[in-house]
Each structure stands twice: as C-alpha cells, then as structure tokens.
C-alpha cells in the first residue's frame, strides 16, 4: 500500500534541493466518483508515472464513497475537478449547480441490469411487475430514463416495476429480493459470478445494447473555472496528462491495476479483481482522446429528456460542456 502523495510532495520529500521547484507546480485536486479502484486507473497512473509532474502539476486525488457527493465537494471548493456521470451532472446543472463537462475519458457505458434467468425475464418487456435493484445518489437517472422509454412506471403500480433502492453491493440478487440489479461490466457483475452464480443462470441487459446508454465517467468543473485564463491552462495540462495515463493503462492493464492497488489505502481491493476490472474499463476508454463526442452528448440528452411525465431533465441544457480544454490539451 502506498500513501497517496501528490507529485510535488513526493519530490519535496526527496530533499530541499527539489522543494522549491516542486512547490511551484500548479495544484489541482480531483474528486473521484467512487472509491480507489481501476475505474479511475488513468489518474493514478498519471500520478505514479510522473505524467502530472512533467506537466508541472501537483495533483491530489480524493477517493469518493457512499457518503461523498462529488458535486457538493466541487461546489464547496474541496476540488477543482470531479469525475461524474453525465446524467447526474446534467440533473445537478438544471437544479442550479453550474457544472461543465471539460473532457470525456469514457467513450462507452459499462452500465447494465443483471437478472436471474429463473425470474422468467427474457427481454425488457418482462420487467413489468418485477422488482429491480437500482442505485441512487445520481446513479438512478439512466435507469429512470430507460423505464420512461419503455413506458413503465417505477412506482410499483400494475404493469410497472418496483424499485428496490440498492446498496452498492449485489446482495438483493444473491438473496433473491430482486429479479434484477444494477451492475457495471467491470465490477458488480463479476461480484455476482464470484459469489457462485453461473453466467448461464444470468441474463444481462447492457444499456449500450438497448440504445439507452448515457455518458459515464467524465471530467467536470465549475463554470467560473473557465473564466480564469490560468485555470484554463492548468486544466488543459491536467486533461492531457490524465489521458496519457489512460492510454498507458489501456496498454498495460495489469501494471495499471497494480498501481491502483498501491494507492488503495483501505486495503479492500484484491489483485485479481482489479486486474479484471482494468481489462473491462479499458474497453470503455478505448477510442477516446478525451474530447467529448457531441453525438454521444446529444444521445445522452435525448435519453434523459424522454422520461415521459417524469424526465430526468426537463429542457435542453445550455453551456453544459465545452471543448475549450480538450482543444487546448491537444495542441
């Protein structure tokens, strides 16, 4: 396990001869959406391999968790940049939080519903009158959007679905409290498998395959950050170094997983799980240079607006993303 040191602090620890230059580096604090794991490998790789340091950045990475709301951390000044899913960020923006997408390392979606075949579900039409496990705290929005498209109420009424507020675990499926649960291709699905349920006994519905995928791990800042020329320059360097970290992680998944483990101060992660997770995450970042694909953005917005009488967002967002940072990062 490695104590999380920022690049500048690490240099300073080497001796006073380096301290002056190290502390001159520009500070950036990144708030993750969840705990230290391979989902965020690119940032830890960029820290460990010196990519941030080479960009004259002193980066602090703050893990998330069930009690951490990245938007609130950003609004409170506890971070300069946050990792969040676009549905959550756009909902927060509509509710008054001036958050803006500056980069999109994740091109694909890892979100899916994992169901027990014994429940009789063979297609989305069979969700009717079933109990489905759903994550909340901003993670529910893609699900609610999907149910809106299917025309299924989420209040437990006849012909609709009953929503079970799912913890960040797979217990509802293992204990058969729900026919399906929310899982990610790189994480919870494998927890179900590791718990002893065969893949042959499961049926999965990837949001990507169902045409309802929304953008996941993107980088967001407050609008005010974009009014500061020095901050814009700093963010461009941060995005460039982060994407260097992501591409290295894609090409070296096992080594990237081991780097993540070094920064896991909880000791909760295992080598086998992180290596497997990194392999799956690499599929989602593949093809991304960090720039937001406007077509992907428009698909996400369309999905979130199409929730029938209860859409995730009620109007087309304005100013919700900028290409300013990635344009500068690519120069």
Query: Which letter, b or e, does each residue of 273-311 get, where b requires 16 or more Cβ atoms within 10 Å of its Cβ?
Result: bbbbbbbbbbebbeebebbbeeebbebbbebbbebeeeb
> pLDDT (tens digit, 9 = 90+) per residue, 233-271?
999 999 999 999 999 999 999 999 999 999 999 999 999
How many other CB atoms sit within 10 Å of the CB of residue 258? Answer: 15
What is the structure's pLDDT at 309? 64
The pTM (predicted TM-score) of the whole model is 0.90
What is the structure's pLDDT at 9? 46
What is the structure's pLDDT at 288? 96
How is residue 216 written in tokens?
Answer: 């996941």
CA separation for the pair 156, 137 (Å, rounded): 20
The yes or no reply on domain 7-107+215-329 and CATH 3.40.50.261 is no
* Whether the predicted pLDDT of 48 surpasses 90: yes
Per the CB < 8 A criterion, the answer to whether 272 and 204 are in contact is no
The candidate with the shortest Cα–Cα distance to 190, out of 172, 207, 202, 178, is 202
Q: Residue 88's Cα: distance from chain center in Å?
A: 10
Per the CB < 8 A criterion, the answer to whether 131 and 120 are in contact is no
* Whether the predicted pLDDT of 90 surpasses 50: yes
**Look-up of token digits 């993540």:** 260
What is the structure's pLDDT at 12? 43
Query: What stretches of 109-159 show up as alpha helix (H) in DSSP?
Result: 141-150
pLDDT, average across residues 54-58? 98
Per the CB < 8 A criterion, the answer to whether 113 and 163 are in contact is no
pLDDT, average across residues 55-59? 98
Per the CB < 8 A criterion, the answer to whether 323 and 292 are in contact is yes
> pLDDT (tens digit, 9 = 90+) per residue, 13-32?
434 333 334 458 999 999 99
Q: From 2.60.120.380, 3.40.1190.10, 3.40.190.10, 3.20.20.70, which CATH number describes the 111-206 domain?
A: 3.40.190.10
What is the structure's pLDDT at 16? 39
In what order do the strands lie in the sheet containing 162-165? 162-165, 131-134, 180-184, 111-116, 202-206
Phi/psi at 75 (5° precision): -65, -35
What is the structure's pLDDT at 23? 56
In what order do the strands lie in the sheet containing 81-84? 57-62, 26-31, 81-84, 218-222, 99-103
Confidence of residue 4 (pLDDT cuts 50, 70, 90): low
pLDDT, average across residues 124-143? 93
Matching fold, domains 7-107+215-329 and 111-206: yes
Domain ranges of the chain: 7-107+215-329, 111-206
Per the CB < 8 A criterion, the answer to whether 100 and 82 are in contact is no
* Whether the predicted pLDDT of 7 surpasses 70: no
CA separation for the pair 324, 226 (Å, rounded): 9
* Whether the predicted pLDDT of 145 surpasses 60: yes
Phi/psi at 198 (5° precision): -70, 145
What is the structure's pLDDT at 310? 74
> pLDDT (tens digit, 9 = 90+) per residue, 298-312?
999 998 988 766 788
- Please report, rounded to a whole number, the percentage of residues in the chain having pLDDT higher than 70: 92
Least confident of 16-25, 99-108, 121-130, 203-212: 16-25
pLDDT, average across residues 93-107? 98
pLDDT, average across residues 126-155? 92
CA separation for the pair 85, 185 (Å, rounded): 15
* Whether the predicted pLDDT of 221 surpasses 50: yes
How is residue 51 written in tokens?
Answer: 């990519």
How is residue 269 written in tokens?
Answer: 């992660």
Q: What is the separation, in whole angstroms, between the first and last Cα of the chain?
A: 36
Confidence of residue 211 (pLDDT cuts 50, 70, 90): confident
What is the structure's pLDDT at 139? 86
* Whether the predicted pLDDT of 129 surpasses 70: yes
Confidence of residue 168 (pLDDT cuts 50, 70, 90): confident
């Amino acid at each position: 396990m490695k104590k999380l040191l920022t690049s500048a602090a690490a240099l300073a620890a080497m001796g006073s001869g380096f301290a002056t230059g190290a502390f001159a580096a520009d500070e950036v604090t990144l708030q993750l959406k969840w705990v230290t794991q391979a989902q965020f490998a690119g940032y830890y790789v960029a820290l460990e391999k010196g990519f941030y340091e080479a960009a004259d950045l002193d980066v602090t990475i703050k893990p998330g968790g069930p009690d951490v709301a990245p938007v609130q951390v950003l609004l409170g000044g506890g971070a300069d940049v946050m990792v969040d899913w676009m549905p959550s960020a756009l909902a927060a923006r509509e509710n008054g939080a001036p958050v803006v997408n500056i980069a999109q390392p994740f091109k694909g979606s890892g979100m899916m519903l994992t169901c027990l075949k014994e429940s009789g579900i063979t297609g989305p039409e069979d969700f009717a009158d079933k109990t489905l496990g759903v994550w909340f705290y901003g993670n529910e929005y893609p699900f609610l959007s999907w149910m809106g498209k299917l025309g299924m109420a989420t209040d437990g009424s006849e012909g609709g679905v009953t929503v079970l507020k799912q913890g960040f675990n797979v217990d509802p499926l293992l204990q058969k409290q729900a026919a399906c649960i929310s899982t990610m291709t790189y994480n919870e699905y494998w927890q179900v498998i590791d718990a002893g349920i065969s893949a042959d006994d499961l049926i999965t519905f990837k949001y990507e395959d169902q045409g309802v995928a929304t953008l996941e791990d993107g980088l967001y800042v407050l609008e005010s950050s974009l009014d500061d020329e020095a901050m814009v320059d700093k963010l461009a360097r941060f995005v460039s170094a982060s994407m260097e970290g992501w591409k290295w992680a894609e090409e070296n998944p096992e080594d990237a997983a081991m780097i993540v483990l070094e920064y896991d101060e909880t000791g909760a992660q295992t080598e086998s799980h992180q290596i497997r997770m990194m392999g799956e995450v690499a599929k989602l970042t593949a093809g991304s240079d960090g720039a937001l694909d406007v077509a992907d953005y428009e698909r996400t917005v369309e999905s979130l607006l199409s929730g029938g009488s209860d859409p995730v967002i009620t109007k087309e967002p304005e100013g919700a993303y900028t290409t300013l940072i990635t344009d500068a990062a690519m120069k």
